[in-house]
Chains A and B, each alone.
Chain A
Amino acid sequence: MTDNTAIAFATAIAQGSLRVVDLTFTLSPDMPVIVLPPEFGQSSPVRIQQISRYDENGPGWYWNNITVGEHTGTHFDAPVHWYTGKDLPNNAVDTLPVEHMIAPACVIDCSAQAAADPDFLLTRAFVEDWEKSHGRILAGHWVLLRTDWSKLGPRDFANLREDGAHTPGPDSNVMEWLVNERDILGFGTETIGTDAGQGSHFAPPHPAHHFLHGAGRYGLQCLRNLDQLPPTGAILITTPLKILNGSGSPLRVLGVAPS
């Protein structure tokens, strides 16, 4: 048994040498959902409707019906979500390789920069500087952008102004570079999307979506507790619901890191 690494992994968790960090927001109607111009189709917000609660509709049991969009709450973006990934094989949440659902993660701390500037943009130079301290980002890793944005209240979290949302994210150049030069598995943020709030004005628009999904990579958004992960050495467990041809899914994201 001792040379069984799967058992060793579980034992390490049970004994506390590995700790499990919940990186997920509670799925609730209070969580902001992406806002599009109202003439476009809109994501359903989270709805929780009670079927029964030990009452006349079910005397001994409590249960709910829920309504969610594929992109509500803490959620996963599959390549088919964006037009750039529409023709890739295995590009939906029901077909993506399950091996990708457990993968190591690098956490880049930009919380000070984001606190100073809600429009902070992650650049290639910033990441290269990070690599000098923490080592080169290896292929198949998640890159997570820690901004502490998840600690804000709903209004500051969405930060909508007359010219749109103002939230931090990556610039176009760094996304292309991370995908092509670092071969990352995916990119995750604490904000409402993988792209910056003003990302529709970038070239190309929404560069994180554009480059990630065009190369068959993934997105994670509305993450939290990234401050509890080390810069390197943690793994993420990301198992989206197996929705038929789903473009994404709310999910429970777990980080596992040495204690």
Chain B
Amino acid sequence: MVEPLQKPGRKNPLDRTRQQALPPAGRSRKGQLLTLAAAQGRFALQCCSECGLFCYPARDACPNCLSADLPLTDAPNGGTIVSETTVRVPTDVYFRERASWRIGIVKLDCGPEMVAHLHADCYDGERVRMSLQLDKSGQAVAFARPTEKTPNQADDRQWREMTATPKFRRALVTNGRTALGQAVAAALKAAGAEVYVGLADPWKPFPGEETLKRDHHVVPLDVADERSVQELAADLGGKIDILVNSTEHVRPGGLLDRRVTNAVKDEMDQHHFGFVHLAQAFGPAMRARGADGVNSAAAWVNVFSVYALANWAPFGTNSAAQAAALSLSHCLRGELRLGGVRVVNLFTGPLDTEWFQTVPPPKLAPKAVASAIVAALENGTEDVFVGDVAEDVRQRLLANPKALERDLNQRIS
């Protein structure tokens, strides 16, 4: 039985802000396969190509036939708890601070037994739904949840260590002027967050302005302006638990048909330097507040074009700006992890917005991206491909990156 999460009161300013301790982070190279699966929200294990055996823990060779061909393979996520333990005095600092802590051994339907963190409503002998989650160290761990819906399931104390749920948290969405920013703000509010929305050039009117100002805290923020970002962080830096970098500055064009670099620079100013400004202004305070109670700093979310991964020539310079920011996100991920704050990257195909007007469907509704952000926070995923185009690019990158490159740059309209 999980008690519903209570909205936290104001902090006692005399109390020290607790620092984030991290759970053990060591994993083998093969073990990182499970981190990949966890990052994408998949339940996958190594499976022997020769004899079909699912293996756990991660191995270099199949324990049945000694084949070295053990690719990561999506696995059935059902299992049964065969033993449970409540650890009351762990030696590890992270778990000691959070004791008591329940773990158990789960016999998977696909074969292996796994040591898993147990949801409070899972007991010895019961069926469970398994998932791989990223813990505060950013490494994969197994988690067992009830197969059925239970009251306040997402409020479970141990589960919340694996997620960054918006409930009772304070979120900053960087760009309220766009349909995407407005959809994200609305979705986060619906998920229980208090939402701050940044607005550059507040003297320029825009569609949706009244609703935005009625529903959220609209704050001045021009991500391309270092001072603007620093000034907002001076006010809000210690209060932002979830930062959604929804910056969207799309201009069509490759390299040769544009004679000036202004538009290219603008894209870098918004996407690359905007990221730098946000990270330097908000990152340190977020990293310091990863263990700051129910509304601790929890996640930094980036909305990227999937063409950050492979340049799409009709939007070639935009792809490059996206790639630059994507690279920064990996740097930030490493730095924020020390504070237990996760960096979530969403990859999208073209959005159904004005700057992709002439691009044929499928195009992604801003609301779909917003829903995906909330789902990623609630489920604790780290790399999310939203929509058919993004998923297509992901798969083709895995299959043959050279073929994808040819397809993406063969025709410039």
Q: Please report A residues at the B interface, Cβ cutoff 8 Å.
A: 29, 32, 35, 38, 41-42, 45, 47-50, 153-155, 157-158, 160-161
Contact = CB atoms under 8 A, between A and B. Distances in A.
A41 B263 CA distance: 7
B204 interface: yes
A232 B5 CA distance: 72
B202 A48 contact: no
A42 B262 contact: yes
B226 A50 contact: yes
Contacts, number: 37
Contact of B205 (A41, A47, A157, A161): A161
B235 interface: no
A163 to B, nearest CB: 12
B249 to A, nearest CB: 10
A205 to B, nearest CB: 22
Contact of B227 (A29, A42, A160): A29
A90 B379 CA distance: 66
Contact of B204 (A29, A42, A48, A158): A158
A158 B225 contact: no
A35 B225 CA distance: 18
B201 interface: yes
22 contacts: A29-B227, A29-B228, A32-B201, A35-B204, A41-B260, A41-B262, A42-B266, A45-B222, A45-B225, A47-B226, A49-B226, A49-B227, A50-B226, A153-B203, A154-B202, A154-B203, A155-B203, A158-B203, A158-B204, A160-B204, A160-B205, A161-B205
Contacts of B251: 38
Interface of B: 201-205, 222, 224-228, 251, 260, 262-263, 266
Nearest to B224: A47
A153 B227 CA distance: 20
A154 B201 CA distance: 9
Nearest to B228: A29
A48 B203 contact: no
A225 B35 CA distance: 64
B27 to A, nearest CB: 36
Main secondary structure of the interface of A (DSSP, over half): mixed
A35 B377 CA distance: 37
Contacts of A157: 203
Nearest to B262: A41
A131 to B, nearest CB: 36
A70 to B, nearest CB: 13
Contacts of A48: 227
A-B pairs, 4 with minimum CB distance: A154-B203, A155-B203, A158-B203, A41-B262
A38 B222 CA distance: 17
Given A35-B204, A160-B204, 14 more contacts: A29-B222, A29-B225, A29-B227, A32-B203, A42-B262, A47-B226, A49-B226, A50-B226, A153-B203, A154-B202, A155-B203, A155-B205, A157-B203, A161-B205
Contacts of A29: 222, 225, 227-228
A158 B205 CA distance: 10
A24 to B, nearest CB: 19
Nearest to B258: A41
Contacts of B228: 29
Contacts of A160: 203-205
Contacts of B225: 29, 45, 47
Contacts of B260: 41
B266 to A, nearest CB: 7
B25 to A, nearest CB: 30
Contacts of B262: 41-42
B235 to A, nearest CB: 16
A63 to B, nearest CB: 14
A30 to B, nearest CB: 8
Contacts of B263: 41
B251 to A, nearest CB: 8
Contacts of B205: 155, 160-161
A45 B204 CA distance: 14
Contacts of A50: 226-227
Nearest to A28: B227
A112 to B, nearest CB: 24
A153 B203 CA distance: 9
Contacts of A35: 204
B355 to A, nearest CB: 9
A201 to B, nearest CB: 20
Contacts of A32: 201, 203
A79 B167 CA distance: 59
Contacts of A153: 203
Contacts of A161: 205
B317 to A, nearest CB: 14
Nearest to B226: A49
A45 B222 CA distance: 11
A161 B201 CA distance: 15
Contacts of A38: 251
Contacts of B224: 47
A56 to B, nearest CB: 14
A230 B358 CA distance: 56
A95 to B, nearest CB: 23
Nearest to A39: B251
A207 to B, nearest CB: 25
B116 to A, nearest CB: 47
Contacts of A47: 224-227
A41 B251 CA distance: 11
Nearest to B263: A41
A161 B224 CA distance: 25
B232 to A, nearest CB: 13
A189 to B, nearest CB: 18
A155 B204 CA distance: 7
